[in-house]
Amino acid sequence: EVQLVESGGDLVQPGGSLRLSCAASGFTFSSYSMNWVRQAPGKGLEWVSYITSSSSTIYYADSVKGRFTISRDNARNSLYLQMNSLRAEDTAVYYCVRTVYGSGRHFDYWGQGTLVTVSS
């Protein structure tokens, strides 16, 4: 059974930093591209970042570029999101999401999410 378990969410002050982790199990983690997708309280979904299986290609949403860094450790079956210079508008549930490729690509498995609150 595919499982994605996020951790690291917390209350942090504006300008602060936080590192999110995602522990993957039930599949060959090193073979899949991964993403972070967030959802502000009561709002819609927003794609944040993408990383290929080998970390060779990385993309960021414009809203987080230069502040967030995605990375992975295939030996530990783990995905990370380092978040710096946090702002109130970064407050959201952050989901770890697997990418699968068919004719196109889509998000097939989502974690349960971890809540990041940016507030003084």
Partner 1 sequence: NFMLTQPHSVSESPGKTVAISCTRSSGSIATNYVQWYQQRPGSSPTTVIYDNNQRPSGVPDRFSGSIASSSNSASLTISGLKTEDEADYYCQSFDSSNHGVFGGGTKLTVL
Least Å distance between CB 34 and partner 1? 12
Asked if 22 and 4 count as a contact pair (C-beta separation under 8 A), the reply is: yes
91: left (phi over 0), alpha (psi -120 to 50) or beta: beta
H or E element, residue 58? strand 58-60
For partner 1, the binding residues (CB under 8 A) are 35, 37, 44-47, 50, 59, 61, 95, 102-108, 110-113
Q: Are 18 and 86 in contact (CB under 8 A)?
A: yes
Q: Give the shortest CB-73-to-partner 1 separation in angstroms.
A: 23
Q: Quick one: 80 or 95, whose CB is closer to partner 1?
A: 95
